[in-house]
Structure 1
């Protein structure tokens, strides 16, 4: 389910992926929804974290790897590139960099801390 997820912008599909993961965990444990056992209890007994947390972690890991590369590295140059011109009217499309900024903000990290932790 997570294959290549660190490069996606998956804000809308993250909850759906968490639901699918919990459904498989419940099936593996032999627990149904009628048993009224909370998701946190099932995750605690199996030792599995939320899928969205794992995706955020891997996304930050990939970001730190790209930003530690040499400045002439193509992926780094694309990340730092400014596109000229204006966008269309309306709400701008959500980009991968926007997800990175949200992940940093939600974890209370700075860009420098991610670079250091990735080493």
Structure 2
């Protein structure tokens, strides 16, 4: 809905691409990623987010798929990093926040909670902690750094738009 409200402005061909990218990063992306800190995202969900984002970015640039313009070029011209990278950064940011919490706090207690019982047959469902572990492995970060806020922020932060595309 927010996308439709800003399309008149953001899809205007007279507006500079850099400004369109800034509007996208400050208005649309936060709406798309609202609450993403606690999502257990599967590959299919990541792909859906990527496709939706690229449709919006192409529309902003006035480019169709028939024009055969690469995604990297569109991202580079708008100075926008991939939404999946931002999603991973948000998740790691929340994880560090919870790790630094007091042991008696509800979120910390729930994160450390162990539930007894049987798991069902078949492949286990993807959990939030599984996503956090893979994100930490990708970024080359271990759990010990989470206690230091400044160091943690340096390690998990998403790539800057200047070095994208």
CA distance in 1, matches of 2:106, 2:140: 29
Q: Tell me, yes or no, if structure 1 residue 8 matches structure 2 residue 36.
A: no
**Structure 1 unpaired stretches of 5+:** none
1:24 paired with 2:56, answer yes
Alpha-carbon distance change, 27 to 75 in structure 1, aligned in 2, over 3 angstroms: same
Misfit runs of 4+, over 3 Å: none
CA distances 1:4-63 after superposition (whole Å, capped 9, x unpaired): 111111212111111110110011011111221110111011010111110100000011
User: Scaled by the length of structure 1, what TM-score is found?
Assistant: 0.93
Per the normalisation by structure 2, the TM-score is: 0.68
Report Cα offsets for 1:50-98 as digits up to 9, x if no partner: 1111010000001110110011111101111111122112111111111
Over the residues paired in the alignment, what is the CA RMSD in angstroms?
1.4
Written as runs of structure 1 = structure 2, the 5 A alignment for 1:1-119 is 1-11=32-42, 12-116=44-148, 117-118=152-153
